[in-house]
Structure 1
Amino acid sequence: MDCHAPGVNTRTTDQRTPSSTAGSPSPAPRGSASRQLSAPYAEAVLRHAGRDWLRLNVPGHAATPGSDLAGFFGPRVPALDFPPLLDGIDLGPDTPLDRALHLAAEAWGARRTWFLTNGASQGNQIASMVATALGRTLVVQRSVHSSVIDGLVLSGMDAVFVQPSVDPEQGIAHGVTAADVAEALARTPDAAAVYIVSPSYFGAVADVRAIADAAHAAGVPLIVDEAWGSHFGFHPGLPARALARGADLATSSTHKLAGSLTQSAMLHLAEGPFADRLEPLVDRAFRLVQSTSASALLTASLDLARRSLVTDADATGACVEAAERVRGAVRALGRFKVVSDGFHAFPDIVGADPLRIAIDTRAGGITGHEARRRLFQDHQIMVEVATDAAIVAVIGAGSAPDTDRFVEALHTLPSPLTGAAGARGMLRLPDPGPTKLTAREAFLSPALVVDAEDAVGRISADTLAAYPPGIPNVLPGEVITAEVVRFLQRTATAPNGHVRGALDLGVTRLRVVA
């Protein structure tokens, strides 16, 4: 299974896929295996590139032999970089793009699938915008990705936030329970939809079935940001995907762990009670935010990633086993702890993504930020994310990394922290301030830039999110607290730390509502 296949993304043509049964635990309905062996869009682009073209159209590089682009990437990448609206690829009836979309919907058990070239962030923005047609208020998990908050700015919707459980030792947010969602819905008569995240950045899987039942009982759809779960359901060792558990709309960041190119993603619509209403809305919103020059490379990678996931479950299974060997080695060696071993203590967590390896580094005498820095600089090992207390490594479905090298390097790290001193230095996740305005009202209001200490007690005009993981710590419309300011400033000064939305690298100034 090739997790690094060249990719392509969808076009401005109608991304229409016929209905298929949602919720099937198998990768594709019975009888479809032979169809899933093909990658119609990627194959069409490859055939097209094999012809002797004189390219007097965009893109301007015209696949010129000997150009800097060809010299840097090799001649094949620019040769495959075609514009939209080409006969035999994405223009006309029953195109290769149409067939690729159909196969993706079939594989994920969706009524319809859209290919995205601006990541799952684009899918979250689409989902947030279409919810406006169903009601005035979005019932949303507070620890959603910042792109969902961007969607609230675009839509102008009100939001009722459901607070996630928080692991105080690790300083990380997990998920929400069905009971908390039901309570929020009961006090939100104009609810449009419920919006949750599953799995979390650390691999915690929510009880999507119970939350879907709570949403449907209130007469609203469930939208799931499944950015980190695009591989779910494609092997018995993986959790079921959200659509199979009752979700009505799911964003899938296919590039994260399913093998497509960076920035490529999918949006899946379930065959359910809200499908007829949602489908035309999603299609129109898709056209609103999708580039009219969507990348053929990104789209092709989505087609190839789908084929690999469906047809090579053994490769995915090998990755599940490799990740478990790493966790087993960490447990056996005893210096560090496995974060997911503590998931049972949280009522909102019903499972874990086995391809996510979250290691409590504080237990081994080193902060997550320092562990990440040393792994990168001294061992040429990149991990996905670090917090004060942990690092998270991921294994893509079908990839074959040298996990022994990771375990060995991890256990050669120094132990600069000592007991209580390390605990005192722990950076804990701050509670958000109260909400005073909608995200859109605050974002579009006249604003002032003030010193960070003077921003305390003022209403934020920006979304500020510690990256990674990109979960907003302050939203437009929320009151800025001293605790949040300290957290963001310390995050910004940590190795590889970054605050999305900050006006400067040190978060010394903030934009507030005038």
Structure 2
Amino acid sequence: MSRDAHKSIVAGLIFSGIQSRWIRPRWDPKLHLAHPPSPADVEEMWDRYPEAAGCLIVSPTPYGTCADIAAIAKICHARGKPLIVDEAWGAHLPFHDDLPTWAMNAGADIYVVSVHEMGAGFEQGSVHHLQGDRVDPAHLSACADLLMTTSPNAILYSAIDGWRRQMVQHGSELLGNALALARTLHADIDALPGIHVLEDELLAVESSHDLDRMQILMDLSGPGISGYQAADWLRENCRIDMGLSDHRRIMATLSMADDVAASRLMDALGALIGAAPTIAPAAPVDLPAPHELELETVVLPWDAFFGPAEDIPTRDAIGRVAAEQITPYPPGIPAIVPGERTRLAYTGTTAQKGCVRTLRLLTGTATEIRPNRTHPRLLTKAPDVPDCTATWEQTRTAEMNPSPRNCARRTATGMTGPDPGTGVGWRHQDACGGRRLTSKALRMFVFPPAAIGCRRRSDTGTYAGHEGLERNLGNRA
């Protein structure tokens, strides 16, 4: 999983209990931004962790740079593993040939797109796409159902469908006009004194594979102001919002709806250059070296987030294990993920700037933290196993035993041991292997056999574990 993943993906790690193996983005020490992982980076991680269930990358990045999805997909598929792409900023990509290749055409198995970002949907209007047979569609649908509201907003759905129809009918023309406008703006902005539009630097060797040119990234080193100052000034004085800003850059995000706004942008940038001498010099930003940005994961995000924690002043947090995620927005990428050990590069800077005064940290050391859950079962398909029966009895025990693999096609819950407070769990008598292990119910919830994927046998009164939960959501006893 790419370490530049959005905070929502980290939330999924927290709630699922999955162990992530981070693919480090290619940090650019000159530009101080992250390029997407290369196919070689992904290949190396598969060699190190061949047991991983799949691969997840982000493309395009918030800066508009794109990964070589086709090559990465081939690497994953050669191992029989699925590729998931967070293509939140790529809703428009399928509808014009001059845009980077969209994930489906490049061979991704699943990709998620936010229609409200580069499309024309309302906020929260997102879609996930699936192709191929590496991921069980019925189970994926069941997982999505767990997270969806039971009171859906029809306006969101109609906006998504209306935008889809518009793109099918007129997308090529609309986006062609937008790309022509983007090319003109690239040249005109780059001609302004002190402003440089980044393009070739983003596509150099060891950088990104492709670039969405509807994202215009501007370097402001010439005027001597930071991107944060520029974005604030443009909002306050010109009523123009930038798509992104950082310590030295601003980014203008174009859409198919921009026309007159382009002249407003040029006028505003000209005014910004004229006002730059009156803006206080930007405070120096001491950015860490790329290797200092890599934090060690010492505890599962689940265990860190739900474990015993305390709030500690940031200046005293160095070397401690984070129990929360620290996420600047935009772009919404966590600087610190629960379970990572903090370092001076992060905590020293945030304490000095006063950005984060306290951090929620695990109590004790990483070696003293006792995991309270094993890995849950994975999305990928498992081979068939012989049918078998299982009997269940409620039991009290204080032990934290591993989760039974069950005689089902997949482990149905991935939980361990009894509830640590009550000692109540379900003891599993596996008729196939004779194992007697305890399967923990999540917190105070105790799941009856039918709720975790076993169907009742009317003839014997026992439960057959041959079918997984995803096959039996409608057959609860």
1:426–1:170 Cα change, 3 Å? farther
Fraction of identical pairs, as percent? 32
How far does residue 172 in structure 1 lie from its aligned partner after superposition? 1.7
* 305, 313, 317: which one aligns with 2:163: 305
Q: State the 1:427 CA deviation.
A: 4.2
Gaps of 5+ in 2: 364-477
2:360 maps to what in 1? 511
Q: For residue 305 of structure 2, what is the aligned residue in structure 1?
A: 443
Equivalent residue runs for 1:289-304 within 5 Å: 289-304=147-162
Partner of 2:295 in structure 1? 433
Do the aligned residues in 1 keep the contact of 2:229 with 2:282 (CA within 8 Å)? Answer: no
* 1:480 has 2:342 as partner: yes
Please tell me whether the aligned partners of residues 3 and 22 of structure 2 are also in contact (alpha carbons under 8 angstroms).
yes
Structure 1 residue 405, shift from structure 2 partner: 1.4
1:411 deviates by 2.4
Deviation string 1:2-60 (CA, Å, 9 cap, x unpaired) is xxxxxxxxxxxxxxxxxxxxxxxxxxxxxxxxxxxxxxxxxxxxxxxxxxxxxxxxxxx
Give 1:459 shift.
Answer: 0.2
- State the distance in 1 between where 2:83 and 2:255 align: 27
Normalized per residue, the structure richer in helix is: 1
1:407-426 Cα distance to aligned partner (Å, 9 max, x none): 221122133599xx869535
| Structure 1 residue aligned with 2:18 | 157
User: Given the alignment, which residue of 278, 283, 292 partners 2:136?
Assistant: 278
Structure 1 residues 159 and 394: alpha-carbon distance in aligned structure 2, compared to 1, 3 A threshold: same
TM-score (norm 1): 0.66
AA paired with 1:208? I
1:202 corresponds to which residue?
A: 63
Amino acid at match of 2:215: R
| CA–CA distance in structure 2, aligned partners of residues 489 and 355 of structure 1 | 36
2:174 is aligned to: 315
Per the alignment, do residues 489 and 374 of structure 1 end up closer, same or farther by CA in structure 2, a change over 3 Å counting? farther
Please state how far the C-alpha of 1:376 moved relative to its aligned partner. Answer: 0.1
Aligned partner of 1:229 in structure 2 is 90
Where 1:163 maps in the other structure, the secondary structure is coil
Q: Deviations over 1:44-89 (max 9, x none)?
A: xxxxxxxxxxxxxxxxxxxxxxxxxxxxxxxxxxxxxxxxxxxxxx
Pairs within 5 Å for 1:25-174: 140-174=1-35
1:150 and 1:318 map into 2 onto residues whose CA distance is 38
* 1:372 positional shift: 0.1
Report the counterpart of residue 12 of structure 1 in structure 2.
none
In 1: Cα distance, 2:269 partner to 2:125 partner: 31
Q: CA RMSD in A?
A: 2.0
What TM-score results when the alignment is normalised by the length of structure 2? 0.71
Aligned residue pair count: 357
Q: Name 2:106's counterpart in structure 1.
A: 245
d(CA) in 2 for partners of 1:300, 1:368 = 37
CA contact (8 A) 1:231 1:397 kept: no
| Amino acid across the alignment from 1:512 | L
Given that 1:146 and 1:465 are in contact with CA atoms closer than 8 Å, whether structure 2 keeps it comes out as yes
Q: Which residue pairs with 2:467 in the alignment? A: none
Q: Contact 1:238–1:353 at 8 Å: present in 2 too?
A: yes
Amino acid corresponding to residue 214 of structure 1 in structure 2: I
SS in 2 for 1:160: coil
Within 1, Cα distance between the matches of 2:338 and 2:260? Answer: 40
Distance in 1, Cα, partners of 2:81 & 2:15 = 21
Assess, with a 3 A threshold, how the Cα gap between structure 1 residues 352 and 423 changes in structure 2: closer, same or farther: farther
1:166 Cα shift?
Answer: 1.7
Q: 2:321 aligns with which of 437, 455, 459?
A: 459
Provide the secondary structure at the position in 1 that maps to 2:73: helix
1:393 to 252, 265, 277: 252
The within-5 A match list for 1:327-346 is 327-346=186-205
Cα separation, 2, equivalents of 1:179 and 1:477:
27
Render the CA deviation track for 1:189-232: whole Å, top value 9, x for unaligned: 32101000000000001100111111111221000000000110
Whether the 8 Å CA contact 1:170–1:389 is kept in 2: the answer is: no
Q: Which has the higher contact order (CA 8 A, sep 6+)?
A: 1
- Amino acid in structure 2 at the alignment position of 1:301: A
Aligned with residue 347 of structure 1, among 206, 212, 216 = 206
Q: 1:199·1:229 contact (CA, 8 Å) conserved in 2?
A: yes
1:3-22 to 2 correspondences below 5 Å: none
